[in-house]
Amino acid sequence: MATYVVRVARQATVFLLFLLTIVLGAVSGVLFAFAGDLPQISALDDYAPSTITRIYATNGEVIGEFATQRRTVVTYDEISPLLRQAIVAAEDKDFDKHVGLSVPRILAALAKDVLERRKAGGASTITQQLARNLFLNFEKTWERKIKEAILAIQIEKRYTKREILTMYCNTIYFGHGAYGVEAASRLYFGKSARSLALEEAALIAGIIQGNVRQSPYINPEAAARRRNYALQRMAEEGFITQDAARKAIASPIKTAGLPTQQYSPAPYFVEEVRQQLEARFGAKQLYENGLSVQTSLDLPLQLAATRALQHGLRRLDQRRGFREPVNLLAAGADLDAYRHPRWQGPMVVGDVVPAVVTGTTATEIQARAGRLDVRIPKAGFDWTGKASASALVSRGDLVQVLLEQVEDGGHTAVGRLDQEPELQGAVVALDNRTGRTLAMVGGFDFDRSKFNRAIQASRQLGSTFKLVVYTAAIDRGYTPASTLLDAPVSFPGGAGSPAYAPMNYDRTFQGPVSLRRALEQSRNVPTVRLMNALGPKQVIQYAQKLGITSPIPPYLSSALGAGEATLLEITNAFSLFPNQGVRMTPYQILRVTDREGNALEENRPVPTEAIRADTAYVMTSLLQGVVQHGTAARAAALQWPLGGKTGTTDDFTDAWFIGFDPDITIGVWVGFDTKRPIGQGQSGAVAALPIWIDVMQHWVERQRKVLKAVPEFPAPGNIVFATSETGDKEAFIAGTEPGAEIR
């Protein structure tokens, strides 16, 4: 009997050894079969996941972001211990014990696969998930699972648990474009990953398996279930007490981030920067390598410019009458269920918000804007010319309302009827001494039109081009006191063309006028006579000196702005006068660094001596006169050293005002994208100047707070102040003043 038992034992041993040999051979075969197809784990030594490129204003605020994956890489210590514990508890309780694989979980998953006759999943450890996210795909195949297991073991052999968990936390997708725990913390709670509370950490850990499907922004109930699951698992693993878990489970989910990317306060400026970055560094580096881009944008000035342009365009558009709004009922919408995206954000006094008309009385429009019940009294729609509300709008109309009062804890409001303008415009502001672009608004609404009218639209310059004519005259020996003739004149046309007979805006003539008065009052006829005397080709050369690169035809009509240029070009041309004739090349990017802080690009001012300093000062004095008692006299109310010039085309298709103080130059253009009249009488002084005043007023108020004295335009040493024949004190270049010996 004993001999029989021994013989059976030996046979069993041989069988087991044989079976083990088969298993080992099979495993070896599998490893050999797949090893050649697997990536090199050592590549993780230099692992650098895609991160966000951020664009910064001068005050350090983020004004734009670009990324294929919205991610901010953090270290192990920058992740809250609560979040690390929550992830381990919810995803892989044996993380600190296994070598990349969890055999019990694999066996349980296999059994489930057999019973349910499908690949149920759920056996992957944190290390396996990391391997899958970094090197593989998400197909549920045996081949992928085998490769995943092999990679997991290799990762565990090469890296510490701390390193593996850190890579995992920076890799996982959390929904809404957010990759990694830092981006997820910012997305859902508006704070860093190191600052998360217990229930917040548990929510982030809980949604890993479902990301968008279990996002609190998409499915709050599912997010709460997964959060509570993570909390319970933390208690079971001893990371927190059961009492702490119960309290956290009882707390409501309170998000504080944004489910979508935050809207940029300077979208046209940021898009211009994006195009420059992509041209210089390529799309891959821009969208994946987490560049840090310091720009020249002055954010408070940018916000002021945006407000001023939008308010000005709305004001001008109202003069063209009220346009019939879209009716949601006619479009088949359910008014009770309708939600406008704008209603998600705050709505405060001064905002213009969309609202649905719910009813009317003889003297009032009633509307709803999200949770706001809005009243629009008769005074709020008088501008439309309609006598009653019912004659103006109907129930279901989607209108825009300027909020003038918000009451009852943000539930009721009083507003003024408004509408989105068809008219367009642009604003640009430059630092005179450096050329830095301080503000750029390329249109009324970037979402409606991404065409940047500040730098892409070439429009007729109108009377702003007179600046070039008078600069050429001063540089060629004319003075502010020189006499020009404002009288009818006709110039012969060439090759069968009709004669050219310029006319003044007011259709009158004043006879002999000083050069100063001709510029201040923007007289057309004296300007054309002056260009004829100087020679059109000579004047066009000065346009190029001033930095106008757009081609200007060498015809007399160009004296009145028949040629075209961009707002940035003409604003840059004006900026050299307060800068003593030195033209600075405009630029937006100050410095670009990579994710390690290495400088990739640094830009500095690029000066060009365009005209003599004395010529620039005399022109500055003349342009000051335009503001003090010329076509831009409204700006004199700012009581600040200012100079500038209005511009209007003959048929009122383009309205301009370009003006400066000793430090900055601001340009404003208003018009339609398709060249058609803004409206009768809508000159630069009427359409563009009020917008410019609003922007410059913001700047002046800031300067008064920080400067001890009002700045001045510095005069070169060869400037002589003398009394002209009209009795006015004028600035002359030495040798050109009255009574000076002719040299």
pLDDT of residue 128: 85
Averaged pLDDT of the chain: 88
DSSP state of 684: I
Q: Which CATH number fits domain 324-418: 3.90.980.10, 2.40.50.140, 3.40.50.720, 3.30.565.10?
A: 2.40.50.140
Element counts in the chain: helices (H) and strands (E)? 20, 26
List pLDDT tens digits, range 102-133. 666 655 555 555 555 555 455 688 888 888 87
Query: DSSP letter string over 72-84?
Result: ----GGGS-HHHH
Cα of first residue to Cα of last residue in the chain, in angstroms, is: 139
Handedness of CA 119, 125, 130, 135 (dihedral sign): negative
How does DSSP classify residue 191?
A: S
The number of CA neighbours under 13 Å toward the Cβ of 355 is 32
Give the pLDDT confidence of 268-312 residue by residue, as tens digits.
999 999 999 999 999 989 988 889 999 999 999 999 999 999 999
| Model pLDDT, residue 102 | 66
pLDDT tens digits for 460-503? Answer: 999 999 999 999 999 999 999 999 999 999 998 777 778 999 99
Of 223-232, 344-353, 516-525, the poorest mean pLDDT is in 344-353
Tell me which of 136-150, 343-357, 637-651 is least confident: 136-150
Report the pLDDT value the prediction gives residue 120, as an integer from 0 to 100: 47
In the predicted structure, residue 643 carries a pLDDT above the cut 70: yes
What 3 state SS string does 19-38 have?
A: HHHHHHHHHHHHHHHHHCCC
- For the four alpha carbons of 633, 475, 662 and 571, in that order, the dihedral sign comes to positive
**243 in helix, strand or coil?**
helix
pLDDT of residue 264: 86
What confidence score (pLDDT) does residue 32 get?
44
- pLDDT, mean of residues 625-643: 97
For residue 143, how far is the Cα from the chain centroid?
46
**pLDDT of 97:** 87
Phi, psi of 403 (to 5 degrees): -75, 120
Q: Give the residue numbers marked as catalytic.
A: 91, 463
> Which residues touch 692 (CB under 8 Å, ≥6 apart)?
308, 635, 644, 657, 659, 666, 668
Cα dihedral: 387, 392, 395, 398 (round 10): -140
Residues 6+ apart with CB under 8 A from 318: 383, 418, 419
The residue among 512, 432, 296, 499 whose CA lies nearest residue 713 is 432
Residues contacting residue 378 through CB under 8 Å, at least 6 positions apart? 363, 364, 389
Task: Please check the confidence at residue 421 and state whether its pLDDT lies above 90.
Answer: yes
Lowest-confidence region among 418-427, 622-631, 678-687, 722-731: 722-731
**pLDDT for res 9:** 55
Strands (DSSP E) along 247-339, which ranges?
Answer: 292-295, 326-327
Of the ranges 33-37, 41-45, 287-291, 737-741, which is most confident? Answer: 287-291
Average pLDDT over residues 722-729: 81
- Taking residues 169-194, what's their average pLDDT? 90
What pLDDT is recorded for position 4?
A: 52
620, 626 in Cβ contact below 8 A?
Answer: no
pLDDT, one tens digit per residue, over 243-257 is: 999 999 999 998 887
351-401 pLDDT per residue, tens:
899 999 999 998 999 999 998 999 999 999 999 999 899 999 999 999 999
- What integer pLDDT is reported at residue 495 of this predicted model? 72
Tokens 């997964």 belong to: 226
708 DSSP 8-state letter: S
Give the CATH fold of the 424-585+602-733 domain.
Beta-lactamase (3.40.710)
Residue 422: half-sphere exposure toward Cβ, Cα within 13 Å: 13
Contacts for 292 with CB less than 8 Å, ≥ 6 apart: 53, 54, 56, 592, 593, 594, 595, 597
- What is the DSSP code string of 85-101? HHHHHHH-TTTTTSSS-
pLDDT at residue 739, rounded to an integer: 77
Write the secondary structure of 616-673 as one string of H (helix), E (strand) and C (coil): HHHHHHHHHHHHHHCCCHHHHHHCCCCEEEEEECCCCCEEEEEEECCCEEEEEEEECC
Cβ distance 273 to 286 under 8 Å? no
pTM of the model: 0.83
pLDDT value for 23: 41
- Taking Cα atoms as reference points, which of 468, 466, 372, 361 lies closest to residue 413? 372
Using pLDDT thresholds of 50, 70 and 90, give the confidence band for residue 262. low
Tell me which residue of 132, 439, 74, 514 sits closest to 83, measured CA to CA: 74
Is there a contact between 181 and 192 (Cβ–Cβ < 8 Å)? Answer: no
Tens-digit pLDDT profile for residues 600-614: 999 999 999 999 999
CATH placement of domain 72-250: 1.10.3810.10
User: How is residue 183 written in tokens?
Assistant: 């981006």
In this structure, the number of other CB atoms found within 10 A of the CB of residue 658 comes to: 30
Question: For the chain, what's the residue count?
Answer: 743
- For the stretch 533-578, pLDDT in tens is 999 999 999 999 999 999 999 999 999 999 999 999 999 999 999 9
Q: Which two tokens stand for residue 562?
A: 């028949």
> In this predicted structure, what is the pLDDT of residue 45?
64
pLDDT exceeding 90 applies to what percent of the chain? Answer: 67
Report in angstroms the alpha-carbon separations of 727 from 481, 526, 648, 722, 724.
10, 21, 31, 9, 5
What pLDDT score was predicted for residue 185? 93
* Contact indicator for 105, 115 with CB cutoff of 8 Å: no
Residue 217: closest CA among 257, 249, 177: 257
Q: What is the largest CA-CA distance in the chain?
A: 143
Among the listed ranges 33-37, 91-95, 297-301, which one has the minimum average pLDDT value?
Answer: 33-37
Taking residues 58-70, what's their average pLDDT? 90
**Sheet with strand 664-671: strands edge to edge:** 437-441, 424-431, 664-671, 654-660, 643-648
Region of residue 701 (phi > 0: left; psi between -120 and 50: alpha; otherwise: beta): alpha
Q: Give the H/E segment covering residue 360.
A: strand 352-360
Q: What is the pLDDT of residues 316-337, one digit of tens each?
A: 999 989 999 999 999 888 888 8
Q: Counting beta carbons within 10 angstroms of the beta carbon of residue 397, is it exposed (0 to 12), middle (13 to 18) or buried (19 or more)?
A: buried
Q: Which residue has the higher pLDDT, 178 or 574?
A: 574
CA dist., res. 245 & res. 539, Å (int): 80
What does the pLDDT read at residue 25?
A: 46
Inform me whether the pLDDT recorded for 187 exceeds 80.
yes
C-alpha 468/C-alpha 488 separation (Å) is 23
The confidence score (pLDDT) of residue 663 equals: 98
